[in-house]
Structure 1
Amino acid sequence: MSLRVEGLCVARGEAVVVRGVSFSVPLGEVTVLLGPNGAGKTSLLEALSGILPIQAGRLELCGREMSRASRVVRARAGLSHVQQGRVVFPTLSVEENLRVGARDGLEEAFRLFPELEKRRHTPAGQLSGGEQQMVVLARAILSRPQVLLVDEMSLGLAPLVVKRLLPVLKGLAEGGVGVLLVEQFARLALSLGHQALVMNQGRLVYSGPASALLRQPELLQWAYLGRSA
């Protein structure tokens, strides 16, 4: 079972930003999505979660057709999206932010991120950027997703913080969740990924084992330059 995308096309206004993209995100694996700025990665994730409409193509979640489903229906079916920007409710406490995602499971969140337990009554707006990202990730995990979309989790964070967060995604995949990860720290992401996708100018220019890009970085360079690998 997996998230399956076939011939997906997405537009922003008059501009087509994703063109005929096809791939799958197997459950129990981390699929890494890379590409230069403006390649269409964020637009693709927003179309998968229902923020942007799908212009053409097909989206299936574990065998269920979702191309025209609302964002709420997709979320209830098990598709969760961690967007760019660490969206928290700044005046609510850490605990209250987590309860937005689920009524129970807080102890699981604090086991994954013991840093948050110490600050459970602190307004989320007073947390560091890394702590806010922990809140966002924990909230998504508590929604019990089948597939988790993660867009630039590391944006604005120090590499040490990213190294702290990425193993959580690996553990989530080992528990059976499919993870589609957009990440600027390519080597870190590829080191925990099973499959890798590279987009350029709205198209998929590489699809294959993440290990191949680690072993042969020239493949990644070619893909970033827009040459099919």
Structure 2
Amino acid sequence: MLKVEDIHVYYGAIHAIKGISLEVSQGEIVTLIGANGAGKTSILNTICGLIKPKSGKITFEGKDITGVATQELVKRGLTQVPEGRRIFANMPVYENLELGGYLNKNKKEVAEDIERVYNRFPRLRERKNQLAGSLSGGEQQMLAMGRALMSKPRLLLLDEPSMGLSPILVKDIFSIIKELNQQGTTILLVEQNAKMALSIAHRGYVVETGRIVLTGMAADLLDSPEVKKAYLGG
């Protein structure tokens, strides 16, 4: 479904992404794990058109999308939930969701989609008229995911969904991610909580200083001595 081939990304003179290649097949959860600053977010931002690679190629569902504008990718079914959530803090919850469905000009369908989001995240229904900035961290993450689902993505890119959340909420968010996947959404997940990410993913890639240093089935990576030592605290 997604193929990234030998991409190189520079920030000025800094060579941030050094020839990364990866694949995501339809129906999978694939995770990128690695330390802070390893380049995981840069990879997602390059895939979704926010950063233009210096070289390399990205294909989505067989079509070259290298450098294609982000809003065009959303139309094609590829959506990102960014790190830090980036909700519209001064707008109520329901308006944030309406903005997520901006591509759909059919108001009735948008209302039905919002209803589906509320069914998935009942807390958002309770808070629908509340300003998004007044929500708790977990609720804001639910809103960011709900807003992304409004565009009916076939591939969802999630950047650090557990960041800043309590352990109980982390569990909730990960079970929602698993559920979304079981209902047909393919997921590429960037996550510092390697243990949680690998426990729900099918496959994983370990990123270090802009390179992929290890790849394999998630269960094998969970058992890998290098991964245990570097990321699982053991």
- Would you say same fold, with TM above 0.5? yes
Root-mean-square deviation (Å): 1.3
1:171-222: CA deviation from partner (whole Å, max 9, x where unpaired):
2222222211111211111111000000001100111100002223x13146
- Give the structure 2 partner of residue 115 of structure 1: 123
- Give the structure 1 partner of residue 107 of structure 2: none
Q: Which amino acid aligns with 1:99?
A: E
Name structure 2 gaps, 5 residues minimum: 102-109
**SS of residue in 1 equivalent to 2:87:** coil
Q: Which amino acid aligns with 2:159?
A: D
Work out the CA distance in 1 between the residues paired with 2:163 and 2:229: 24
- Give the structure 2 partner of residue 51 of structure 1: 50
Q: How many residues align?
A: 222
Asked whether the equivalents of residues 39 and 199 of structure 1 are also in contact (C-alpha less than 8 Å), the reply is yes
Q: TM-score, normalised on structure 1?
A: 0.93
Q: TM-score, normalised on structure 2?
A: 0.91
- Give the structure 2 partner of residue 95 of structure 1: 94
Q: Does 1:63 align with 2:71?
A: no
Q: Does 1:152 align with 2:151?
A: no
- Give the structure 2 partner of residue 227 of structure 1: none
Asked whether the equivalents of residues 36 and 192 of structure 2 are also in contact (C-alpha less than 8 Å), the reply is no
Asked whether the equivalents of residues 84 and 152 of structure 1 are also in contact (C-alpha less than 8 Å), the reply is yes
Offset at residue 68 of structure 1 (A): 2.6
1:1-229 to structure 2, matched below 5 A, reads 2-102=1-101, 103-104=110-111, 105-216=113-224, 218-221=225-228
Name structure 1 gaps, 5 residues minimum: 225-229
Q: Which amino acid aligns with 2:68?
A: A
Asked whether the equivalents of residues 48 and 80 of structure 2 are also in contact (C-alpha less than 8 Å), the reply is yes
Q: Matched residues, percent identical?
A: 39
Runs of 4 or more above 4 Å deviation: 221-224
Asked whether the equivalents of residues 33 and 199 of structure 1 are also in contact (C-alpha less than 8 Å), the reply is yes
Asked whether the equivalents of residues 20 and 211 of structure 2 are also in contact (C-alpha less than 8 Å), the reply is yes
Asked whether the equivalents of residues 9 and 19 of structure 1 are also in contact (C-alpha less than 8 Å), the reply is yes
Q: Which amino acid aligns with 2:156?
A: L
Work out the CA distance in 1 between the residues paired with 2:219 and 2:141: 27
